[in-house]
Amino acid sequence: NESAEISLKDIDQLASNSFPLCMRHLFDKLREDHHLKHGGRIQLNLFLKGVGLKLDDALAFWKEEFSKKVGAERFDKEYAYSIRHNYGKEGKRTDYTPFACQKIISSTPSVGDHHGCPYRHFSEENLRAALNKMGVGGRQQDEVMDKVRNRHYQLACTLTFEAIHGTSCDTGINHPNQYFSNSQKIRQE
Ligand code: SF4
């Protein structure tokens, strides 16, 4: 599912145009809090690797935010390793695969965590607010909430995708990186 390289200067625009809600939420929280806990760092970092952010750019991206909170030195000491590790550059040099929806949906975020799938893990109130922010309101939003109530989280995400892009997504959404590449395909048409 690896696509073309993306450039760090485009990342905010790509996030608002083409990230699924799970990644959008992590991205916004990182920009806001200058910090993410372990589960959020892995979920977002592997996704970014999958969309084509190079390791050097990933390190610069995480460092820019974490430096504002813990300082550059502590970032280099405590956090850079696991960023490189996700990219397969440390330890056993495993090339870790970005998480699919099923894995994200079945994760168990605790208080203060921001990973997981918002359709599964947000309260109704927070999910509705997030959907409003993405421009999905009214009847479209109610249809999304219907799927959520029936525990069809990926269908809820698919409906959101269709509402945002104004086109059908017949394959459905099963992977955040698939959401991203489908979105980019449509945006570039
Ligand atoms: Fe992310 Fe998948 Fe949940 Fe959509 S259904 S928000 S892509 S985990």
Q: Are residues 74 and 12 in the same domain?
A: yes
Q: Are residues 112 and 137 in the same domain?
A: yes
7: how many CB neighbours lie within 10 A of its CB?
A: 11
For ligand 1, pick from 122, 157, 160, 180 the residue to mutate: most ligand atoms within 8 Å of CB. Answer: 157
* 101 Cα–ligand 1 center, Å: 5
In a domain, 80, yes or no: yes
Asked if 146 and 118 count as a contact pair (C-beta separation under 8 A), the reply is: no
Tell me how far apart the alpha carbons of residues 100 and 85 are, in angstroms, rounded to a whole number.
Answer: 19
Q: Are residues 48 and 119 in the same domain?
A: no
* 74 Cα–ligand 1 center, Å: 32
pLDDT reading at 95 higher than 80: no
pLDDT reading at 3 higher than 60: no
In a domain, 94, yes or no: no
Task: Give 115-139 pLDDT, tens digit per residue.
Answer: 999 999 999 999 999 999 999 999 9
Which 8-state DSSP code applies to residue 75? I
Tell me how far apart the alpha carbons of residues 14 and 26 are, in angstroms, rounded to a whole number.
Answer: 14
Task: Give 28-43 pLDDT, tens digit per residue.
Answer: 999 999 999 999 999 9
If phi > 0 it is left, if psi is from -120 to 50 it is alpha, else beta; for residue 70 that is alpha
What is the pLDDT, as a whole number, of residue 90? 79
Q: Are residues 42 and 117 in the same domain?
A: no
pLDDT band (50, 70, 90) for residue 188: confident
Structural domain range at position 53: 8-86
Question: Averaged over 77-82, what is the pLDDT?
Answer: 94
In a domain, 91, yes or no: no
Quote the ipTM score: 0.99
Asked if 16 and 24 count as a contact pair (C-beta separation under 8 A), the reply is: yes
Q: What share of the chain is helix, strand, coil (3-state, %, to 5)?
A: 65, 0, 35
Q: Are residues 123 and 163 in the same domain?
A: yes
In a domain, 92, yes or no: no
Domain count, the chain: 2
In a domain, 105, yes or no: yes
Q: Are residues 82 and 12 in the same domain?
A: yes
